[in-house]
């Protein structure tokens, strides 16, 4: 019987996309095993590069839309549109990311643009959403996103509370009548790898706030404003997610998705493996090829290649990983389900040469071919 190989390699940042790396590996396998059945799947962990990987791997379309950036200026954001399944793949960092501005001021920073991206996708017929919430500049509890979707957050005078964390303590009333009615028939799966609650010392403001500009003096007042927002949310919607795992992700976006959009928060790698139908392909796989730019002890802590390996082991497949560089601690990956791993860089080289896309593809193809000659 012909060998079946499933290839799912994470992107080599700055060098190869997930599918470029996967296709290069496929060529190497094919050179050594012309009769093998090879399936190439995109791989990502729900963070940066997820949209690109799923668009390329699942035949999606890249949609560009001008939205409100974190500090109110227009930005061009992109999301993935998978027409067949009416699914949108959204990374909040595209509209509210920390890299979009040099400013660091959570009192002003808003997620409004994320809501505008969702609105655009709804208007195109999308009803299933895969959302990555890493890399945000915001700590607004998701209020900006919800305002863009038609929820109203009003102060004691019945006026809109505006943008940023400054709005949270001023909320006295939340109105849901004008929310986009299409949200009722929509399903949100949110890639979330943090377990922090919304408030308190392990919450959004204390843990993730400082990197976004929250000062020592601001921590307590902003956290107490977040608690106030959560209390009004509970009164209005009769649900309580303030201590739910992941509610503190992305400055409270986890809380907004759980409370207002009935979302599921799912570890990023699990969400992506499900989206690409990995489990189905692994049922009869003999060998699984995975990898990423650098294999180290962090990989073993649960990054994408180990997620693939765990899934593969359930079905008794051998797992081989290929990486641009391999550290001495990478042996931890062997205990995490990767049977063997190999660096692809050949000979002494500069970083620039190694990162060159054509060189990297070539190195991947040749290394994989040599390993598969042993099979």
Q: What is the Cα Rg of the chain in Å?
A: 22
Contact indicator for 165, 106 with CB cutoff of 8 Å: yes
* Rounded Cα–Cα distance for residues 340 and 288 (Å): 11
How far, in Å, CA of 41 to CA of 139, rounded? Answer: 35
Which three-class secondary structure state does DSSP give residue 308?
A: helix
Give the strands of the sheet with 87-91, arranged side by side: 61-68, 74-82, 87-91, 128-132, 187-191, 264-266
Query: What is the rounded average pLDDT of the residues 338-358?
Result: 93
- State pLDDT tens for residues 264-316: 999 999 999 999 999 999 999 999 999 999 999 888 888 899 999 999 999 99
pLDDT of residue 225 exceeding 90, the answer is: yes
Domain 50-269 has CATH 3.90.1510.10: yes
What is the model's pLDDT at position 368? 98
Percent of the chain scoring above 90 in pLDDT = 92
- In the 8-state DSSP scheme, what is residue 354? H
Tokens of 272: 């992506």
Give me 155's structure tokens: 């102060």
| Mean pLDDT in residue range 245-268 | 96
Q: What is the mean pLDDT of the chain?
A: 95
Residue 340 banded pLDDT, cuts 50, 70, 90? very high
Q: Where are the domains of the chain?
A: 4-43+278-372, 50-269
**What distance lies between CA 109 and its chain's CA centroid?**
20
Query: Comparing 50-54, 73-77, 182-186, 222-226, which segment has the lowest mean pLDDT?
Result: 50-54
In total, the chain counts a number of residues equal to 375
**Considering the chain, what percentage of its residues have pLDDT values greater than 70?**
100
Q: Directed axis angle between helix 357-372 and helix 18-32, to 10°?
A: 40
Is the pTM for the entire model greater than 0.85? yes
The whole-angstrom separation of Cα 364 and Cα 184 is 46
Q: Which two tokens stand for residue 80?
A: 């993935």
Cα 200 to Cα 51, 220, 224, 225, distances in angstroms: 32, 9, 9, 11
pLDDT mean over 249-267: 97
* Run of H or E residues at 37: strand 37-42
- Do 307 and 321 meet the contact criterion of CB atoms below 8 Å apart? no
Fold of 4-43+278-372: Rossmann fold (3.40.50)
The mean pLDDT value for 86-98 works out to: 95
Residues 6/289, Cβ–Cβ less than 8 Å: yes
Report the candidate in 20, 13, 81, 95 with the shortest Cα–Cα distance to residue 49: 13
How buried is 73 (Cβ within 10 angstroms: 0-12 exposed, 13-18 middle, 19+ buried)? exposed
Instruction: Name residue, tokens 């180990």.
Output: 306
Residue with tokens 């090879």: 38
pLDDT at position 46 is 84
Helix (H, G, I), strand (E, B) or coil at 66: strand
Q: How far is it, in rounded angstroms, from Cα 6 to Cα 284? A: 10
When pLDDT is cut at 50, 70 and 90, the band that residue 47 belongs to is confident
């Amino acid at each position: 019987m012909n060998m079946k190989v499933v290839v799912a390699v994470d992107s080599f940042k700055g060098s190869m996309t997930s599918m470029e790396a996967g296709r290069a590996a496929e060529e190497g396998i094919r050179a050594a095993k012309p009769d093998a059945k090879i399936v190439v799947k995109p791989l990502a962990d729900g963070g940066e590069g997820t949209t690109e990987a799923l668009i390329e791997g699942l035949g999606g379309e890249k949609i560009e839309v001008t939205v409100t950036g974190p500090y109110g200026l227009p930005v061009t954001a992109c999301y993935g549109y998978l027409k067949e399944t009416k699914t949108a793949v959204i990374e909040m960092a595209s509209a509210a990311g920390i890299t979009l501005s040099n400013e660091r001021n959570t009192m002003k920073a808003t997620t409004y643009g994320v809501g505008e991206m969702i609105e655009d996708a709804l208007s195109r017929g999308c009803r299933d959403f895969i959302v990555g919430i890493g890399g945000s500049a915001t700590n607004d509890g998701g209020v900006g996103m919800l305002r863009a979707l038609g929820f109203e957050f009003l102060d004691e005078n019945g006026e809109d509370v505006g943008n940023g964390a400054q709005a949270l303590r001023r909320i006295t009333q939340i109105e849901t009548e004008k929310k986009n009615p299409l949200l009722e028939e929509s399903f949100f799966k949110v890639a979330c790898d943090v377990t922090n609650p919304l408030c308190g010392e392990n919450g959004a403001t204390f843990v993730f706030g400082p990197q976004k500009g929250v000062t020592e003096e601001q921590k307590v007042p902003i956290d107490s404003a977040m608690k106030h927002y959560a209390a009004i949310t509970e009164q209005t919607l009769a649900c309580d997610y303030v201590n739910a795992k992941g509610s503190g992700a992305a400055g409270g976006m986890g809380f907004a998705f759980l409370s207002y959009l009935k979302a599921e928060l799912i570890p990023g790698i699990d969400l992506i493996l499900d989206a690409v139908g990995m489990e189905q392909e692994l049922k009869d796989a003999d060998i699984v090829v995975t990898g990423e730019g650098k294999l180290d002890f962090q990989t073993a802590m649960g990054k994408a290649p180990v997620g693939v390996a765990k899934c593969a082991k359930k079905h008794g497949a051998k797992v081989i990983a290929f990486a641009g560089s391999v550290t001495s601690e990478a042996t931890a990956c062997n205990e995490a389900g990767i049977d063997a791993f190999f660096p692809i860089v050949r000979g002494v080289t500069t970083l620039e040469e190694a990162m060159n896309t054509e060189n990297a593809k070539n190195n991947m193809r040749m290394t994989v071919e040599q390993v598969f000659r042993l099979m």
